[in-house]
Every structure is written in structure tokens, then in C-alpha cells.
């Protein structure tokens, strides 16, 4: 399962969530060959002005009296599912931002699922929400998750330090180093374990998207890290002991394939 092109941006602040979504759109549509988004190419400018033809923002339609309707309708989603099948106009990608994704009812989410399960290669989906729980688990599991807290830094210093030492060991490529680093994480609660997993997923994503320098991990391993983070997060949701997660973090990087079993 390819997971890199669909995102859920969850933030209590809708404005910040939307800013992040446009940043993802800019990265996807920017035509620079090195660091993206460059912020200066035509595509970047068009995204900023919200006039890029390969960028669509889906939001509640206007109802009677000019007030927005209560939900994002299934018809709106069906329309983008259909439209997404058509190749991009200007760039290599097509970006769909769904504002207030929590207002998609079950039918609309099921329709969106079709696009999340088998997206055309050029499709980038970004669901912005302030209520992650309102999204179907099947929708959540198919997206990379970006959680923005109302504070600027979403992660504790300890989490950042843990990530740093784990990645350092991974970059060395030595099994015993990785084992020691995983044990040294000393993950105790489910919450801090989940935070760590989220952090390493974002860390790897940032490098894959050229937002951060690679300390020698390589793209294959980085992609594997995102899968490991997803798999371990699924275990956490099933209340697996954090000690067991540390064990997985020690061995999974050396497995050829990260199997995504249903838990
Ligand atoms: Zn650009």
C-alpha cells in the first residue's frame, strides 16, 4: 500500500490546518528540481494565489440564505473522484484539499475512500480536520497523519531527542546499535509512544519531501520508517505494551518487507 500521497492534517485551529494543506499542495506542485517548495516558481505563486488549475479546494456548499450547508455532500466527493481520473493540466500532480473533512457524512467518506484506496498516481489528497475521530478508521488508516497542536511545537523535547538517537543508530546500519537505541528510548506510556511514532513518521516524511536533510538514512529506509511507524501505531491503538513496540523498533528496520496486517 502506497501511503505517501494522502494526508490528514488535524488541527484545532482550522486556519493553521489549511495553511499546512496549502504547503503540502505547494510541495506537490512546485516545479523546482531541488528544494521544494521553492516559493518563487509560477506553480508556487499560483498555489499561493489559489489559482493553480491542478489544485481544488472542496468545502461546504452554500445553502439557503447564503449559509453554508451542514455537510460536505456525497455528490461533491463523487465529483472529485470522477475528476481525479483525468490527468493534471499543468503539473505532474493534482491536489485535492478537503476543508472541514469531519463534515463529510459516512456516504461521502465512503466515496472518498475509493480515491484513497486506489488513487491515480498523480493524486494528492489532503483532508483538513479539527476532529480526527469523526473520520472513519478506514479513511484514517490510509492517510499520513499530520497533527498540529495549537502551540507551535507539537512535540516534546524528549521526543525529538529520542528520535535523534534512534535515527543516528539507524543511519549506522548496525543491528546491535539499533537494538540498544530502541531499548534506550524507554517508552513508558501509550501516549508518549504514539507521539514518538508520529514524530519519526513526520521526520522521515520531511526528508522524503526535501524539507529536512537526510543524515544518511536513504530513501528506502526512510519509506520503511514511515511504514514501521504506521504499523506500530496500529499496535498502540490495539493497546500493545510500549515495551513490545520498542522491540519492534529494534528489529523491523532489518526486515525486507513491513507487512501491514490488520490488527
Ligand atoms: Zn516552486
pLDDT value, residue 43: 96
Say which range, 18-32, 48-62, 142-156, 172-186, has the weakest mean pLDDT: 142-156
CA 3/CA 146 separation, integer angstroms? 13
**How far does residue 55's CA lie from ligand 1's centre (Å)?**
14
Per-residue pLDDT band for 4 (boundaries 50, 70, 90) equals low
CA 143/CA 28 separation, integer angstroms? 16
**How far does residue 6's CA lie from ligand 1's centre (Å)?**
20
**How far does residue 210's CA lie from ligand 1's centre (Å)?**
13
* Long-range contacts (CB closer than 8 Å, 24 or more residues apart) made by 257-262: 258/224, 258/227, 258/228, 258/231, 259/231, 260/1, 260/227, 260/230, 260/231
Tell me the sheet residues that pair with 97.
Answer: 57, 126
* More confident site: 134 or 238: 134
- Would residue 229 be called left, alpha or beta, if left means φ above 0 and alpha means ψ between -120 and 50 degrees? alpha
pLDDT value, residue 237: 79
Of 107, 110, 56, which is closest to residue 83 (Cα–Cα)?
Answer: 56
**How far does residue 38's CA lie from ligand 1's centre (Å)?**
4
**How far does residue 26's CA lie from ligand 1's centre (Å)?**
7
pLDDT per residue over 161-209, tens digit each? Answer: 999 999 999 999 999 999 999 999 999 888 889 889 999 999 998 888 8
Average pLDDT over all residues of the chain: 89
**How far does residue 47's CA lie from ligand 1's centre (Å)?**
9
**How far does residue 96's CA lie from ligand 1's centre (Å)?**
18
Is the model's pTM score more than 0.85? no
**How far does residue 167's CA lie from ligand 1's centre (Å)?**
29
Amino acid at each position: 500500500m502506497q501511503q505517501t500521497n494522502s494526508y490528514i492534517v488535524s488541527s484545532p485551529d482550522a486556519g493553521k490546518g489549511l495553511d499546512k494543506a496549502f504547503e503540502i499542495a505547494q510541495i506537490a506542485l512546485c516545479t523546482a528540481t531541488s528544494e521544494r517548495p521553492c516559493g518563487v516558481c509560477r506553480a508556487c505563486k499560483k498555489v499561493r494565489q489559489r489559482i493553480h488549475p491542478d489544485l481544488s479546494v472542496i468545502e461546504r456548499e452554500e445553502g439557503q440564505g447564503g449559509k453554508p450547508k451542514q455537510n460536505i455532500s456525497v455528490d461533491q466527493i463523487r465529483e472529485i473522484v470522477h475528476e481525479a481520473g483525468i490527468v493534471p493540466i499543468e503539473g505532474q500532480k493534482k491536489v485535492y484539499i478537503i476543508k472541514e473533512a469531519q463534515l463529510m457524512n459516512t456516504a461521502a467518506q465512503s466515496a472518498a475512500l475509493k480515491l484513497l484506496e486506489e488513487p491515480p498516481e498523480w493524486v494528492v489528497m489532503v483532508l483538513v480536520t479539527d476532529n480526527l475521530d469523526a473520520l472513519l478508521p478506514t479513511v484514517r488508516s490510509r492517510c499520513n497523519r499530520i497533527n498540529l497542536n495549537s502551540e507551535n511545537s507539537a512535540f516534546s523535547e524528549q521526543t525529538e531527542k529520542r528520535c535523534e538517537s534512534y535515527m543516528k543508530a539507524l543511519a549506522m546500519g548496525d543491528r546491535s546499535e539499533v537494538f540498544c537505541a530502541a531499548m534506550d528510548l524507554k517508552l513508558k506510556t501509550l501516549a508518549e509512544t504514539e507521539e514518538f511514532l508520529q514524530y519519526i513518521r513526520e521526520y522521515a516524511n520531511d526528508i522524503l519531501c526535501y524539507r529536512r536533510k537526510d543524515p544518511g538514512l536513504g530513501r528506502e529506509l526512510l519509506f520503511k520508517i514511515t511504514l514501521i511507524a504506521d504499523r506500530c501505531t496500529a499496535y498502540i491503538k490495539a493497546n500493545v505494551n510500549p515495551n513490545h513496540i520498542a522491540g519492534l523498533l529494534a528489529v523491523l528496520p532489518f526486515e525486507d518487507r513491513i507487512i501491514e496486517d490488520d490488527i
